[in-house]
Every structure is written in C-alpha cells, then in structure tokens.
Amino acid sequence: MTERPNFESQTRPDCAVIGLNNVTREYTGHGSVVRALADATFSIVAGEWVAITGPSGSGKSTLVNLIGCLDRPTAGELKIDNVDVATMTATELDRFRADKIGFIFQQFHLIPYLSALENVMLAQYFHSMTDEGEARASLERVGLGKRAEHLPSELSGGEQQRVCIARALINNPPILLADEPTGNLDAANQTIVAELLQDLHRNGHTIVMVTHDPEMAALAQRRIALSHGKVFCHPVGGPMVAIRR
C-alpha cells in the first residue's frame, strides 16, 4: 500500500492524474447565470482514493461531470492524465473519455437486452475492439464469472453494480469515477461493493467517488467537500480547510 501523502494545504501537480486550476462552470438560462462550480483548484494523484461530498446543489455532479469529461469548464484549466481537456473537440473528448475514465453509476445503467458479459464488452466496443476472454476475466475479478450470460433483470442489485464495476475496469482506465456506487444497494451489497472498491484501491487504482454515505466516505484517503459551488478538501478525519475561494 502506498504511503499516505500530506494533503493539509498543498496539491501535488507533479504526479497528479487529475488537476484542476481555477475551474469554473457556469450555466446560462432565463436571462441569468448560475455558477455551479467556482474557481476549483485541487489535484488527485495516481492511486489515490478521494471522496467528494456535499449537500444537494453543492456542485458535486458538476465536478464529477467535468472530471468524467462529460462536460467542459467555462473557465480554468482541467487536466486529466496531464492533458488539458478544455481544448478538446467533442469527438476528441469522446475518445479521451473511453480511454481514461471508467464509470460506476448509482443506477448501474446496464443495457437491459445485453447479458452481463455483453454489457462489459460494450465498453470495449466503444473503446477499440471487443474481446470476450478479457470481458469474462473482468467478470471473474468481481466474482460474477458464473453469471456472464444472465441478463440484468436476472441479477440482484449488488450483482448489477459489480457488472458495472467490471465494465468500468475492462479498458484499464487510469481513473475510476464512481457516482454514489452504493446508493441503490442494501447493506449486504453495500459491503460487497465497498470491499471491491477497497481491493481495487489496494491494487493501485485511482478512485474518485461521490457519496452521501459517511461510512463510504470514511474509506477514502481524502475528502473533497463542496458547498455552494466552492471546494474544500482535507484528509479523512482531519479539519476542513478551504484551499481556494
């Protein structure tokens, strides 16, 4: 396991896999401008597990969308794997996202008419080319090797989330972006998924996790808290420190 870095007041742009520098996202509508995220500056290094927390409307979704390359900042610099995504075209962004980000959704979002195996292969399909063997191995890794041919309707919530995790891992992305990964699960399945994420973290994966669950947040190395579009971050258990207004 890697040594826990000192996060008290500084970012570490030199080995950052995600770097935000004065990132702002504004939405214009009905004659007014809404600033969903204001001057966010922080970085996440490789192999780090970061929990993003905050109340509804705090800007968590906006932040996650930006990191996930599903949106682009209005201002500021956002670097994923040392590449400034703000300058990319839509097509380049699609390609980049397939390469760099593995998504784990709260609602799983599996295609209902594809089997577990095919849902995993779907990520390969949009990335490069499909490989059934690799997809089966990914399912084995999350303990679903025997359920590969089942449709999502035939799987439990926890199993569906595990398929989602297998799909997120299949292209070996540097970043796993988990949006409330246990939000739709019962206690038993929450534990299973939490253990899976811990295992992935131990194996060196970078995990950015949005969560309302304090127990899930406690598993992370660092917490980035959002409030009214502004970012705070502190190590797990430490005092909350505003690093940039």
Partner 1 sequence: MSKLSLIGMLRRSLVHRRARSLSALIAMTVSAGVATALLTLYANLDAKLHKEFRSFGANVVITAPATAPLRPDALEKVRQAAGPDALAAEFAYAVATTDRGTPVVVAGTDFAAVKRLDSWWQVDAWPDASAANAALLGQRAAQFVADERAVILTFAGHSVTLQGVGRLRTGGDEDSRIYMPLAAFNAWTGVAPTVIELQIPGGATTVDASISRLRHALPELQVQPVRALVEGESKIVDRTHALMYGAVLLIALTVAISVLATLSASVLERRRDFALMKALGGSQLHLMGMFLLEALVLSIAGVAAGFLVGSAAAWAISETNFHTATLPRLSVLPLVLLLNIAIAAMAALFPARVLRGLQPAALLKGE
Whole-number Å distance between alpha carbons of 223 and 3: 17
- CA 10, 77, 173, 15 dihedral sign is negative
Whole-number Å distance between alpha carbons of 133 and 163: 15
Please report, as residue ranges, which positions from 171 to 190 form the binding site for partner 1 (by CB under 8 A): 179
Please report, as residue ranges, which positions from 37 to 66 form the binding site for partner 1 (by CB under 8 A): 61, 64-65
According to the binding rule CB under 8 A, does residue 77 interact with partner 1?
Answer: no
Angle at 143 between CA 202 and CA 157, to 5 degrees: 100
Please report, as residue ranges, which positions from 1 to 40 form the binding site for partner 1 (by CB under 8 A): none
# chain residues binding partner 1, by CB under 8 A: 37
Q: Which stretch binds partner 1 (CB under 8 A): 21-29, 37-45, 73-81, 95-103?
A: 95-103
Strands 32-45 and 230-235: unpaired
According to the binding rule CB under 8 A, does residue 232 interact with partner 1?
Answer: no
Residue with Cβ nearer partner 1 (65 or 156): 65
Q: Which stretch binds partner 1 (CB under 8 A): 47-55, 114-122, 193-201, 233-241?
A: 114-122
Whole-number Å distance between alpha carbons of 178 and 165: 9
- Contact string (CB under 8 A) for partner 1, positions 117-146, x = contact: xx--xxxxxxx-xxxx--------------
Whole-number Å distance between alpha carbons of 219 and 202: 12
Cβ–Cβ < 8 Å for 193, 165: yes
Residue numbers at the binding site for partner 1 (CB under 8 A):
61, 64-65, 68, 70-71, 90-91, 94-95, 97-99, 103, 105-107, 109, 111-114, 117-118, 121-127, 129-132, 167, 179
